[in-house]
Structure 1
Amino acid sequence: MKIKIAVFGREEIIKRMNDYVEGQDDIEIIPFTYSKAVENVDLIEKAFMCDVYLFGGTLPYFYAKEKIDRKRLPAVQVAFDEYMILTSFYRLRNNHNQALDRISIDVLHKEYVEEVISELNMEDRDIYTYSYGEDSILDIGKIFHYHKELYQTGKIDYVLTSIEEVEQRLIDEGIPTNRMLIPKLNLERAVEKAKSIATLNKSKSAQIVSGFVQIKDFDKILVQQGEISAQEMLLKLHKILLKFGHQTYSSVLTNGDNQFSIFGTRGILDHITNHYRDFPLLQEIARSLGIPVEIGFGLGLTAKQAEDNAKLALETCNHSEESSCFIVNERKETIGPLGVAKHVDTSRLYHALIHRARLNNELSYNFIDFINLRNNEAFSANDISNYYQVTKRSAERTIHKLLAGDVIRVVGEEKPYVKGRPRKLFELTL
């Protein structure tokens, strides 16, 4: 099955992307062309059938960022890096015959310009840099006026901009300007990165889920209520599980002797992770049977791994006299009990995230969602990385802030692989 990459860009970018992937049978470009970058706020809603979102410019990504972060969409932005600065300087000097002096430039991060200037020994040149990545809100007018003022005061002769809208406004004012072009290499790397992210996400969907369900203390029920009554309970339970299997695209098998097996992939996994706090299966069984049951789910990359983990989860149910459901994931973490909402004082947690951990509003709200979704279970930096869809280093920076603010503490370790260092597990201190 082809990977569908939604590409947001102007016609020129879309064409170059299509030229690059031509002949690659595993990739399909779904174009979302705009005339103004702000249109991406609405365009992104139309790309729901795509596997990954690729933005061919800084501005369209900035406009869509709020939705990307809120919906945790897999997104890639074409890099505006040192190589792009270097090739832009080359074109300016050789194609436009403009000296690399008395110019102003706007970029996402000024460090890229500083590194190129240092590499080319151009520290003595009058090159003014506006870094809009440092702005809390991207203001096109502010960037335009920065260049305009420098030109009108005689400090520069030329503008090199990375934003189409800024280029057009400067041209309208009669200010000599040129827009940076994205190098072919940067486009190719962005496509390959998008492809890698989509492939990784698809591999997650191949994760196998195994489950075991059984009536608690079935032997006692046989003695107390008799064979016929006990078999009627098993029949009711089987019907409930078949309905659950239909809802989650999973298979239900009877093992005999009061045990049922469930096997599935993405459908059942999504259902479980969306119902940590209110597991409907347990509620329906309780209403229909009126007796406690034990449910253990195991996750794994192979059927054997998933089944072994499900057995471990089922054993955990022995510690409870009531109905219970636990999960053991591929990292041997035990999550649960499901269907029992653990209280989280979100108001207190939000205050601690803002004032003690120094997280911004967006990260604070997302972290609260993360904690609630996992039903306040212990977590690792890897879990945060997967949830936010950020790099492990970025997740570790968030962990460091949470530890420094005494919002979380270390409660243990996990070792998902035979080799390698164990990962630390954390929980809230509140």
Structure 2
Amino acid sequence: MKLRLGVLGADDSLEIIESVTREFSELECLKIVYWKEEDIVDLLEPHVHDADMWLFSGKVPYSLVKAWGKVKVPMAYVPHMGASLYRTLLYLSHQQNIRVQDVSFDTFSVDELDLFLQEAGIEGGHRWLKHYDGVITAGELADYHEQLWKEGKTRAAVTCLRTADLELRERGVPVHRVLPTRSGVQAVIHMLLRTNEMLHFKDTQIAVQMMEIDPFRELAGGTFATDDWQNAEIKTMEKLLRYAKHLHGSLKTAGPGRYAIFTTRGILQNATTGFTTMPDLEEGFGIEADAVTCGIGIGKTANEAEIHAGTALLHAKERGAANWMVFFDDKSIVGPLGSSEQLSYSSVSARLQKLGEQTSLSVLTLSKLDSILRKRKTMEINAHELAQSMQILPRSARRILMELESKGLAKVVGEESPNPRGRPRKVYRITW
């Protein structure tokens, strides 16, 4: 079965890209031409799920789609640096007798254009460059180039954007479009294919879902015969077997009230919406959500994944019943799933290990704090906020902050009084 490559871009670039894709027998090409940047998302939306990978003819369409955020498969754009730009400058120099200093450029960063000119042996450097991050309009680029040309500072414009090229031509400004080279397109397609292979490998990694469920909740409050207890456990197993079948996985018991489901990363990733939500166990399988505490482990082998799932379960239990956490093969931890306060932190960090040696705090505690600060986008926090984020007691949070203060890794920078009758809360600034 062929891979579907979606290609979106300007008409002239797509001709080159499409001719290159014919060299890849494993690819099937879906081509979308745009003429205005504001139409890109509308053109792409009906086909967003029709491709395994997306290739864009330049930085602007790529940035627009990336900001849109609806494409979840590998994406890339064809760079205009390298042979593409060299071909354009060679034409200007030998056919038009125009020096680099008399040309206005866009898209490239100062550093990459400087390096390119240096490596190409072009002396004197450039004078006029409009660099932009993300999205820019054709009108804005055209205004930049036209102004310099009208003032006599330049003799020509070099643009990477097709719509700016058309706009400048309409205004009568001498303009030269940097088009992708076949070798550049080939390199990007090879990169996309390698990325797809890597993601396919990750999808087939082993995933283990370790669940703790009390199968006897419905029997609480009375005295029951042994058969009643066995029937309750059998009912739980039947529900879990249906759930395991849904995941194309296998089920095994891992201790009293503990069950492990073995499946693949890709399947579990889909079931949890990219490891962000908990699946609806109650609606689909009759398993009460608040009765399940779960750890998900990813590993290269079943044994590694099971160990990681057990570790993730411990982290979930630390946060209380009915929480779900994920432990990945790179030792990063994510969770709780379904929470607006979901954190992502690492259990292994050289920097935090060094800090851990200076304090009585574990690397895991420091990693959680680091993740909370990054999520809050501030280095200031009080004990109440830390306790809420970590789901620990306020006194435990105060102990963490006081320990950091005592080791010179935090300092008190103020006080807050949310309640007139309560004692003020110290605000700490973490200084590591």
- Bucket of the pairwise TM-score, normalised by the shorter protein: 0.5 to 0.7
The Cα shift of 1:229 comes to 0.5
Q: How does 1:249-328 map to 2 (within 5 A)?
A: 249-252=248-251, 260-265=259-264, 266-272=266-272, 280-281=280-281, 287=288, 295-312=294-311, 327-328=326-327
CA offsets per residue over residues 225-253 of structure 1, 9 Å max, x none? Answer: 33210121122212321342354443445
For residue 168 of structure 1, the aligned residue among 162, 166, 169 is 166
Structure 1 residues 402 and 275: CA distance shift in structure 2, 3 A:
closer
**Which consecutive residues of structure 1, in runs of 5 or more, have no partner in the other structure?**
345-371, 383-397, 412-427
Secondary structure, aligned partner of 2:173: coil
Matched, 1:230 2:203: no
CA contact (8 A) 2:158 2:176 kept: yes
CA contact (8 A) 1:210 1:264 kept: yes
Structure 1 residues 272 and 118: CA distance shift in structure 2, 3 A:
closer
CA distance in 1: counterparts of 2:151 and 2:316, whole angstroms: 76
Q: Which residue of 1 aligns with 2:141?
A: 143
Structure 1 residues 35 and 380: CA distance shift in structure 2, 3 A:
farther
* AA aligned opposite 2:227: I
Secondary structure, aligned partner of 2:297: strand
For residue 177 of structure 1, the aligned residue among 155, 175, 181 is 175
CA contact (8 A) 1:328 1:334 kept: yes
Q: How does 1:6-405 map to 2 (within 5 A)?
A: 6-45=6-45, 46-68=47-69, 74-96=74-96, 98-100=98-100, 102-119=102-119, 122-124=122-124, 127-133=126-132, 138-213=136-211, 225-252=224-251, 260-265=259-264, 266-272=266-272, 280-281=280-281, 287=288, 295-312=294-311, 327-331=326-330, 341=339, 372=341, 375-376=342-343, 378-379=345-346, 402=374, 405=378
Secondary structure, aligned partner of 1:54: strand
Secondary structure, aligned partner of 1:225: coil
Tell me the TM-score normalized by structure 2.
0.66
The Cα shift of 1:198 comes to 2.0
Structure 1 residues 142 and 237: CA distance shift in structure 2, 3 A:
same
Tell me the TM-score normalized by structure 1.
0.67
CA contact (8 A) 1:85 1:112 kept: no
CA offsets per residue over residues 2-28 of structure 1, 9 Å max, x none? Answer: 332211123443333333233433333
CA distance in 2: counterparts of 1:35 and 1:321, whole angstroms: 54
Structure 1 residues 297 and 64: CA distance shift in structure 2, 3 A:
closer
CA distance in 2: counterparts of 1:267 and 1:116, whole angstroms: 45
Q: Which residue of 2 aligns with 1:424?
A: none
CA offsets per residue over residues 163-200 of structure 1, 9 Å max, x none? Answer: 22222222223332221222222212211222222222
The Cα shift of 1:319 comes to 7.8
The Cα shift of 1:309 comes to 3.3
CA distance in 1: counterparts of 2:238 and 2:177, whole angstroms: 65
CA distance in 1: counterparts of 2:189 and 2:230, whole angstroms: 57
CA contact (8 A) 1:58 1:108 kept: no
Q: Which residue of 2 aligns with 1:422?
A: none
Q: Which residue of 1 aligns with 2:411?
A: none
CA contact (8 A) 2:4 2:28 kept: yes
The Cα shift of 1:276 comes to 6.0
Aligned residue pairs total 358
The Cα shift of 1:79 comes to 1.3
* AA aligned opposite 1:376: L
Structure 1 residues 209 and 407: CA distance shift in structure 2, 3 A:
farther
The Cα shift of 1:98 comes to 4.4
CA contact (8 A) 1:38 1:63 kept: no
Q: Which residue of 2 aligns with 1:406?
A: 379
Which segment is superposed worse, 110-119 or 233-242?
A: 110-119
**Which consecutive residues of structure 2, in runs of 5 or more, have no partner in the other structure?**
350-369, 391-427
The Cα shift of 1:73 comes to 5.4
